[in-house]
Chains A and B, each alone.
Chain A
Amino acid sequence: MISPATLAIVPLKIGTAGLNEPVWTGVIVFGFVTLAIGYLAFVRREFGAGIVLKLGTVLLFLLTLLSYFWPSRPWPH
C-alpha cells in the first residue's frame, strides 16, 4: 500500500531543482503550455492566431528543451 507521504514525494521531487539539475517543473509547465498554445495557434483556425502566438509556441518549446538540458550548462559558465 502506497502511503500519502510516499505520494507527496513525487510533486516534491519534480517541484524542486538544484542549480545544475534538470528543471522537471519547467519541462512539465513549458511542455504543457507549448502544446496548448501550439494547438490554439496552429490547429484552431477560428482563433485567428497572429505571429506573436506562433513565435511564442516556438519560444516555449525552446524553453522546454532548456529545462531538460539545463545541466549541460553547469555553473559557473
Chain B
Amino acid sequence: MSTDLDLSGEDRTGTGRATGTGQYVVKALAHGILIVASALAIIPFAYALLTSLKPEEKIFSTMAQIIPAEPTVMNYVNIWMQNPLDRWIFNSLLLSAGVVFFTLLLDSLAGYALAKGDFKGQRFVYLLVVGTLIVPPQAIVVPLYIEMSQFKLVNTYWAVMFLYIANPFGVFMMRQFFLSVPDSYLEAARMDGCSTLQIYTRIMLPMAKPALSSLAVFTFTFIWGAFLWPLIILSDSAMYPLQVGLAGLTGQYSSQWGQLMAAAIIAALPVITAYLLAQKTFMEGIALTGSKG
C-alpha cells in the first residue's frame, strides 16, 4: 500500500535525513498551530456546554470547577418551558430555508451568466456585484428600513429574507466555479440541441453540486446567526429568529446564565449538523471554487 509515510521513508538516507527531520519540525509546528487554533475555537463551546449543566445558583460560585459536580439538565428544561424557543427555532429554520434556496438559485444563475455568458457590460456587472461586497451592511440599514417601509413589509418574514437573498459573495463563488468548467461541455451540449437554460439545469447544476453545497452551508450558517437586521425589521416577538429571541433574555440587571448557555448550545446544534451532513461536498466546494484563500 502506497502512502505518504512510505514515500517519505524512501528518502530518509544521507542528506535526506536532515530533510526528513526538517519536515517533522514543520509538521510539528503546523500541528501545534492547528491544535492551538482548535482549542481556541472549542474551549468556549465546551465551557458553555459544561456551564449549561450546572445548577443556576452554583454557576458563579463554582467557576473554577470546570466539570460540574452535580450535572443537571434543568437549564434546558427551563429555557424550553419558559420561552417560545420552539417558535424561535422554527422561525430561524424558515428564514434559513427560504434564503438558502433562493440564494442558491439566483446566485448560480447569476454566476453562470457572468462566467459563461457573452453580453455587453458583463465585466461592469461583475465589478458592480463584487463592489457591493465592500459596503458594510450596517451602513445601509436605515435606507433599507425605509425601503421596506415603503413596500409595507416591515415586521414580515419577507423583509428579513429579501435582504439576504442573492448575496454578492455567492455570485462571486459560483462564478469562480463555473469558470473552472471547460467550454467544451457547453459546446457538446449545444450540439446535442440543449438550450441555454437546459445547459444550466442539466449540465451545469449537477456539476456544481460541491460548490452549491458549500455555498448552502455558508449561507445557512450566516442566516442562522443573523441578528441586526431581524432585530430592526421585526417587532413581533413571535416572529423573532433564535438569535434575536436569545438576546432578549439578557436583562439589564440580571441574566440567567445557565439558561443562556443551554440556549447557545441548542442554537449551535443545527449549524454543526448542517456542516457534518455536507462535510464531504463542502470541502470539495472549498477546493473547487478557490475559496480556501
Q: Which residues of A are at the interface with B, using a C-beta cutoff of 8 A?
A: 5, 8, 11-12, 15-19, 23, 25-26, 29-30, 32-33, 36-37, 44, 46-48, 52, 60, 63, 66-67, 70, 73, 75-76
Chain A residues whose CB sits within 8 angstroms of the CB of B185 once the complex forms:
none
* 0 or 1 for each of B147-175: is its CB under 8 Å from A? (1 = yes): 00001110111110100000000000000
Once A29-B94, A52-B278 are accepted as A-B contacts, the answer to whether A15 and B205 lie under 8 Å apart by CB is: no
Query: What total of A-B pairs shows CB separation below 8 Å?
Result: 75
Do A18 and B101 touch across chains, with their CB atoms under 8 A apart? no
* 0 or 1 for each of B69-86: is its CB under 8 Å from A? (1 = yes): 000000000000100101
Across chains A and B, which 3 residue pairs bring their CB atoms closest together, nearest first? A15-B156, A19-B238, A8-B152
The residue of chain A having its C-beta at the shortest distance from the C-beta of B105 within the complex is: A36
Say whether B93 faces chain A, with CB atoms less than 8 Å apart: yes
The residue of chain B having its C-beta at the shortest distance from the C-beta of A25 within the complex is: B157
Most chain B Cβ neighbours within 10 Å, of A17, A30, A66, A73: A17
Say whether B58 faces chain A, with CB atoms less than 8 Å apart: no
Do B156 and A29 touch across chains, with their CB atoms under 8 A apart? no
Chain B residues whose CB sits within 8 angstroms of the CB of A33 once the complex forms:
97-98, 101
The residue of chain A having its C-beta at the shortest distance from the C-beta of B203 within the complex is: A46
Do A75 and B87 touch across chains, with their CB atoms under 8 A apart? yes
